[in-house]
Structure 1
Amino acid sequence: MVPEEARLRVVIVGAGLSGIATAISAALSGHSVEVIEQAKELAEVGAGLQITPNASRLLQYWKLPESLWEAAAEPTKLTVHRYSGKVLAHDDAFDKGIRAKYNAPFVDLHRVDLQQSLYKRAQDLGVTFHLGERIEKIDFETTTVHSVAGKCFEGDLIVAADGLWSKCREAFVGKKDEPLPTGDLAYRIVLTADQISDPDLKSLVENPECHFWIGPGAHAVGYSLRGGQMYNIVLLVPDNLPPGVSKQSGSVDEMKELFVGWDPILNKFLTYVETVDKWKLMHHGEMENWVNDKSNLVFIGDACHPMLPYLAQGANSSLEDGAVLGLLLGHMTNKTQLPSILRVYESLRKARGEAIVRETFKQRHDFHMQDGEEQEKRDQLFLSQLGKEIKGAFPSRWTCPEVQPWLYGYDAIKEVEKAVAQNPDVFAKAKASKSPRSYCTIL
């Protein structure tokens, strides 16, 4: 817990996973935290998330309720298929191997279950939430966020956790900064076990595994949720949404047509789909800085490093961001340290976040190869390692012995401890600072 003279008023814009993770981490460090969210309620929307050990260890550290783990599905196997169904890679002890290597599990969760668990934990820690508040502007001179409804939220630090369409990012750069299309879109599907009558498919749902199907210009992933009571399918295909449209109701027939000739198992699952939405996959260029000149605004999550879902690291890296920021703020002894601490945060997180973004595009390349010579070489590499301990670079980063440890072995808690030890000047006791003048009522 920080001493009273170092206690910050932290204003977080956005109650997504990154925002609530930061709220929990900062509150555990002893700071006063309030979260502003434009949605009127944290509604039960969304689909599946793959929570890898770099993030699951944080959920354990934050002591999220046991009900979250009961709602998880831990895949015992991971298989990569050629789009025809042929097995290219297979790990039949995936869960055991992950726990042994990283001392934390790989679990599949419904986004709602994770968000609600984080929300409840944050509330228990005294975090205040202001729902239904759309941001109009930010006054960096007074560290104040103004809402469209005329309310103002003043603090010592504003955390931009407002995602891909970040208003904070616009305020920071001083102009519209809309995300760019990646050329892909996602069909997101959630089926319940009760919907599925086929006994073979039902067994796949009830006995959690993770399956990828990779093909020309597209791929699909399927995994269980809620202890084997639901099945999540994501279909990643070329984007045909109109410019400026980020989400639209999709045609089930059009979706099925894209996967004619693919694995019969995948197509059987698709016969149970009644309605589906299409989501344009977007990204941003790299930001020069994640902290403003006044050191009263800092970026986290999709607001600064949105990424393709091809390594399932969007949510996981956002949780890392929140953990690192909150833990670093827990080492404050005086408010004058804030600018230096934010620069340490940026140095710890910016390079990693942007490197993961680049790696997702590499995974798209390796999973979306058109049939031909390059694809045949890829498949030969896959098959040369099938049934063996994988060595060297591998087309599926999910089991690649070079990329997987870099992703899953990251321990935000230890990284912060290391950074504090390496930066004694930053974290030494500093002189007392005067409290900033208050320009509006803090709500």
Structure 2
Amino acid sequence: MGSSMNVLDDELNIVVIGAGLGGLAVALALRTATSRHVITVLESAPALAEIGAGLQITPNAAKLLIRWGLGDQLQKVTTVPEQFMIYRYSNGEVLGKRDNYGAEMLAKYGAPFWDVHRADLQIAMYERAKNLGIKFRFSAQVESYDLATPKAILQGGGEVHADLIIAADGLWSRCRSSMLGYIASPTPTGDLAYRIVLNFDQVKDPEVLRFLSKPQVHLWAGPDCHAIYYPLRNNTMCNIVLLVPDNLPENVARAPGSIDEMKEIFRNWDPILQKLLSLVTDVDKWKLMHREEMDAWSNEHATVAFLGDSCHPMLPYMAQGANSSIEDGAALGVLLSKLSKKEDLASILQVYQDLRKPRSTAIAKSSEKQRYYNHLPDGAEQKVRDALMKSQIQEPQPGYPFYWIDPQMQSWVYGYDADLEAHTAWDKFLKDSKQKTLPGAQL
């Protein structure tokens, strides 16, 4: 695969590392915006597997997926929550709620709020990308990079050359280490997640069946822990995530979990949650890891660009990790479609970073703050939080402690349009560049 750009031909050879949600997003965004450029996605796994659990795709990402032609397919496999409920951990007291939540999100932000199994979303994006002519190479494990050329060197000795490498290889990004010149492993956050998926037909208890009869999001907030439930696949599957203090050994990122240990942690929690957990037959523990955001999202040669967890990981407490990666892909794809000559690539990558970095930094900080609100210990501050929530149960106000419901936070996160922002940013760059070249501009 050799470099295909010359003075008369503006077709770039773009190689995306990783067929996760961010990698698929940038491929879809670029191909939707232009038929130019050769796009190849390298994936280390032999095939896409049905692994993972639930995701919440919020309107800021859903609107992009719909534009890329995925709306009809995703409507078949997603669930739109009718209500969002927040409870006190110990007795199930309702602290906050929004009725008609899915309909409200659609009306306010022009796109749905979807609960979806990660595998369903990934496979839908992959199939759409294939239909658009994007090339995929599986079992393509990158051993190292030459980012000046640039090229990816595969296990076994093969080489993949490109004009631009897009690193969408996640939290443990090898491409990141190559650019920085050293290996820095992610660090533990102090939390771990129990991730649970149940089939709805496993639920027999009449009380639990009534509780789950409508597609709803249920969140229990408690000391140092929280639990969240939402349905998948048109309310036929139950997704439960339990966030608790990390007790895994230092070098263990994932391990089989003890059901008895899990139940003991939540022994004094809402009885309805305990009934749900009684249905669990096996569970894994996932250490939540983090690393600092990269200062630069591309290199001095403008031969590599980063997106998603490879450059700005974020904690899951606002459910924006996947959504933010999809936004990154959309913005980068739109900007790359603007390319008229290879010399513009450095400017495009700088505009991309200037557009995306402040937002990703702010969302990451807000996610840390949401973690704090979720896990408040019993005491004076928790009582203030609960009283504020209950006083605003009919109409939450800006500053509401749970960001899914806070109207100001909703507008900022869910109302964002990465496509529009990318077009606007590039137009501004061109206008500013033109003004700088006008006679007398430097006087």
TM interval, short-chain normalised: over 0.9
Question: 1:128: how far off?
Answer: 1.1
1:151 aligns with: 158
2:47 aligns with: 41
CA distance, structure 1, for counterparts of residue 405 and residue 98 of structure 2: 8
Contact 2:147 2:179 in 1 (8 A): no
Q: How does 1:404-419 map to 2 (within 5 A)?
A: 404-419=410-425
Letter in structure 1 aligned against 2:296:
N
Contact 1:205 1:223 in 2 (8 A): no
CA distance, structure 1, for counterparts of residue 336 and residue 209 of structure 2: 47
Q: Name the Cα RMSD after superposition.
A: 1.6
Contact 2:148 2:303 in 1 (8 A): no
Q: Does 1:394 align with 2:407?
A: no
2:24 aligns with: 20
Structure 2 residue corresponding to 1:70, chosen from 64, 70, 76: 76
Change (3 A) 1:193 1:160: same
Cα deviations by residue, 1:222-258 (Å, 9 ceiling, x for unpaired):
0000001001000000011111111000001000100
Question: 1:169: how far off?
Answer: 0.7
Q: Does 1:221 align with 2:228?
A: yes
Change (3 A) 1:110 1:226: same
Contact 1:220 1:235 in 2 (8 A): yes
Structure 1 residue corresponding to 2:344, chosen from 315, 337, 341: 337
Change (3 A) 1:307 1:132: same
Letter in structure 1 aligned against 2:30:
A
Cα deviations by residue, 1:160-187 (Å, 9 ceiling, x for unpaired):
1000110001101111111111110000
Question: 1:45: how far off?
Answer: 0.4
2:440 aligns with: none
CA distance, structure 2, for counterparts of residue 22 and residue 35 of structure 1: 10
Contact 1:186 1:235 in 2 (8 A): yes
Q: Does 1:7 align with 2:14?
A: no
**Unpaired segments ≥5 residues, structure 2:** 435-443
Change (3 A) 1:95 1:104: same
Q: Does 1:61 align with 2:64?
A: no
CA distance, structure 1, for counterparts of residue 110 and residue 431 of structure 2: 33
Letter in structure 2 aligned against 1:161:
A
Change (3 A) 1:228 1:427: farther
CA distance, structure 2, for counterparts of residue 426 and residue 297 of structure 1: 25
Letter in structure 1 aligned against 2:326:
L
Question: 1:426: how far off?
Answer: 8.3
Identical pairs, percent = 48
Question: 1:206: how far off?
Answer: 4.8
CA distance, structure 2, for counterparts of residue 162 and residue 43 of structure 1: 16
Q: Does 1:247 align with 2:259?
A: no
CA distance, structure 2, for counterparts of residue 306 and residue 190 of structure 1: 24
Give the secondary structure class of the aligned counterpart of 2:9. Answer: helix
1:437 aligns with: none
1:438 aligns with: none
Q: Does 1:382 align with 2:389?
A: yes
Question: 1:200: how far off?
Answer: 3.4
1:441 aligns with: none
1:107 aligns with: 114
1:126 aligns with: 133
1:256 aligns with: 263
**Unpaired segments ≥5 residues, structure 1:** 429-443
CA distance, structure 2, for counterparts of residue 244 and residue 17 of structure 1: 26
CA distance, structure 2, for counterparts of residue 193 and residue 314 of structure 1: 27
Cα deviations by residue, 1:44-68 (Å, 9 ceiling, x for unpaired):
1010000000000011000016232
Contact 1:5 1:333 in 2 (8 A): no
Letter in structure 2 aligned against 1:300:
L
Contact 1:13 1:19 in 2 (8 A): yes
Q: Does 1:321 align with 2:325?
A: no
Letter in structure 1 aligned against 2:357:
K
Letter in structure 2 aligned against 1:48:
G
Question: 1:286: how far off?
Answer: 2.1
Q: Does 1:300 align with 2:324?
A: no
Question: 1:401: how far off?
Answer: 1.7
Contact 1:76 1:96 in 2 (8 A): yes
Give the secondary structure class of the aligned counterpart of 1:91. Answer: strand
CA distance, structure 1, for counterparts of residue 425 and residue 281 of structure 2: 51
Cα deviations by residue, 1:70-106 (Å, 9 ceiling, x for unpaired):
1110001001101021100011121121111101110
CA distance, structure 1, for counterparts of residue 414 and residue 338 of structure 2: 25
TM-score (norm 1): 0.94
Letter in structure 2 aligned against 1:257:
E
Structure 1 residue corresponding to 2:377, chosen from 367, 370, 379: 370
Contact 2:176 2:310 in 1 (8 A): yes
Question: 1:201: how far off?
Answer: 2.3
